[in-house]
Amino acid sequence: MAELADVSDQTFEAEVLKSDKPTLVDFWAEWCAPCRQISPILHDLASTYGDQVKVVKMNIDDNPNTPSQYGVRAIPTVLAFSNGQVVEQITGARPKAAFEEMIQKLV
């Protein structure tokens, strides 16, 4: 299982917006049960698609600026970025197929 890199308000621009690969950002929190539910899915997808798509996570409790900038009002929220722009969003726990479909649109 691939380990997901943590991004912060400080590293978001370099790691996500200027990434040479499409990037999924998982906005999560320690206390969020649905976040823990989708975590293994995202780790699995990072293992499968890691050479084509970057998958990272951001703890919203530690990094309040970026989630608010992108209108994240509920977690988990996964945003797909391509060329520095949000191209798709999934909010809430969803089956693996929903996240795989999101990745397929990026690759």
Catalytic residue numbers, as ranges:
32, 35
Secondary structure (DSSP) of 47-58:
HHHTTT-EEEEE
- At 105, the amino acid letter reads K
Phi, psi for 106 (deg, rounded to 5): -90, -30
